[in-house]
Amino acid sequence: MKKLFTALVMLLAMQTAFAIEIGDAKSQGLVGEANTGYLAAVGPAPSAEVRALIADVNSKRKAEFESTAAKTGATVDQVRARFYQLAVQKTAPGNFYQDPSGAWKKK
């Protein structure tokens, strides 16, 4: 479990490479942390730029989830669930996240 936590903290740290783009999109309410562990559009019709950001971030997250699962012996679903928990904890006030039922909440 400690390996899983460490790997997920490193994944969150890697997000800083996208901090400006992700940060801007999150602060504008365009994207949020989905309950799946992935980034998702908050509104119904995201722009092409937002869709591209989501696709880029999520492809990197997926690869990291799979790598972390292989390294720690956890399942990908366990890794995604733990990442989601950590991401919600780190969500800045005013930004969005999905609750377990899928409803968007503003922190």
For residue 14, which phi and psi values (nearest 5 degrees)?
-65, -25
Residue 69 lies in a domain: yes
Residue 105 lies in a domain: no
Number of structural domains the chain divides into: 1
For residue 101, which phi and psi values (nearest 5 degrees)?
-85, -10
Does residue 90 or residue 7 have the better pLDDT? 90
pLDDT digits (tens, 9 = 90+) for 27-49: 999 999 999 999 999 999 999 88
Biggest CA–CA distance in the chain, Å, is 39
Residue 94 lies in a domain: yes
Residue 107 lies in a domain: no
Residue 74's domain comprises: 2-99
Secondary structure, 3-state, 20-33? HHHHHHHHCCCEEE
CB 107 within 8 Å of CB 97? yes
Residue 104 lies in a domain: no
Report the predicted TM-score, pTM, of the whole model to 2 decimal places: 0.79
